[in-house]
Chains A and B, each alone.
Chain A
């Protein structure tokens, strides 16, 4: 990135994952953080990406569907038989 091209929102939405992953060089991180300090829309975008990740994470933990009794019993039996 040259000094002649200012850092813009359109670039931020492409850098956001690398930014969250800590995969960007320090100087670019500094540029991004300056931009974020100035741009409420990109701050909102960043917040939404974080929310998206958090919501997706809860999907696997939050499955409410219980294991059917007969499957549970069969597997418990397999576990016990293995013990002997």
Chain B
């Protein structure tokens, strides 16, 4: 009787603490359906979102995600928590997505070299050109995004970012997605893509600069409306 009450209490506590990786992994290993349900609800949409960066259609993205979940069910017992569960989950997804015929050629080494070309983060015409006027200083400086909703992602901002990410060259998109959407560290990305830290940084820089540019244009449009 007491044991029964105790088990139930522990179980209820656990549901609230699935945000803690240790608790969640232990529950998954113990095959607690609540834990798996938590995982599905928490990450399914994000996985679809990421899968769509790799594969040509929504339908294929859904397939990739289902395959990912099945791989999680198969593999959870072997998960050693060397990374967070989220990273592990997304890494499975990326591997499956990449094996599913990718959107464009993703020969990263080639793309990485291409990205090392001289590509300015900001239109050079926005800086002063003449020495006497202070060459290299802002001529058209960035305007403050002092929109109160700046830190909230409304639907419009989301569309702007999504479209900007979609337009990135594949290697830049992949690095940005891994770093800023999935939240991997620089070294995790370098390991996964087999690129150097310097290459990773250049790709990330180009990508983030473009997304910032898109947000800036969006903010400027808002101001002139």
A residues contacting B by CB (< 8 A) are 8-11, 13-14, 16-18, 21, 23, 39, 41-42, 44-45, 48-49, 51-67, 71-72, 74-76, 78-80, 82-83
Contacts and interface: CB of A to CB of B under 8 A. Distances in A.
Contacts of A13: 120-122, 209
A52 B49 contact: no
Contact of A60 (B50, B73, B216): B50
A39 B141 CA distance: 10
B212 A41 contact: no
A67 B41 contact: yes
Contacts, number: 142
Given A10-B136, A17-B201, A56-B211, 6 more contacts: A9-B136, A49-B208, A53-B208, A57-B181, A59-B49, A82-B74
By secondary structure, the B interface counts as helix
B113 interface: no
B145 interface: yes
Contact of A55 (B48, B151, B182): B151
A31 to B, nearest CB: 14
A75 B197 contact: no
Nearest to A6: B136
Given A13-B122, A52-B212, A23 B197 contact: yes
Interface in B190-225: 197, 201, 204-205, 208-209, 211-212, 215-216
